[in-house]
Amino acid sequence: MVVRVEQIGINNLTFSKTNLGEQTTTETLWFNTRARTSDVKGNDNIRERYRQYDDVVHLLVNYTPNIKTVIDNTHLFSVAYRNKSWRIADMYEHDDRQHVSITCVRNDPATAP
C-alpha cells in the first residue's frame, strides 16, 4: 500500500434556510492540516438509505484539540481534499490518542437505484 502525505482543509458547516424554505449549507475553512492518504477509491461505493456515494478516501491525521472537536461533532464539519468537498462518513480515534482515521465520501451523491 502506498501512503502519501497531502494537504487537506477542515471546513465548518453552517446550515440555514432561505426565505423560500430551501435548505442551504455553507462551508467555511476552519484550518489546514496534513494527512496521510491511502485507499483513494473512485469506484467503491457506500450506500445509505436514499443515496449512493462512489468516491471514498481514507485519511490519517494527528490527534489535536481541533480534531477532537471534529470527532465530537462530525456532522458540523467536512474535508477539503483535491479541490473537492468530502463528507466525513466515519472517524476512528486510535487508543493511544496519537492518530485519528477518517473515512470520507464525496459530497456529490447520486440517488441510489
b/e map 66-103, b = 16+ CB within 10 Å: ebeebbeeeeebbbbbeeebbbbeebeeeeeeeebbbb
Residue bearing the bigger pLDDT, 12 or 108: 12
Least confident of 4-13, 50-59, 87-96: 50-59
**Residue 72: its H or E element:** helix 65-72
Mean pLDDT of the chain: 85
- Report the DSSP beta bridge partners of residue 42: none
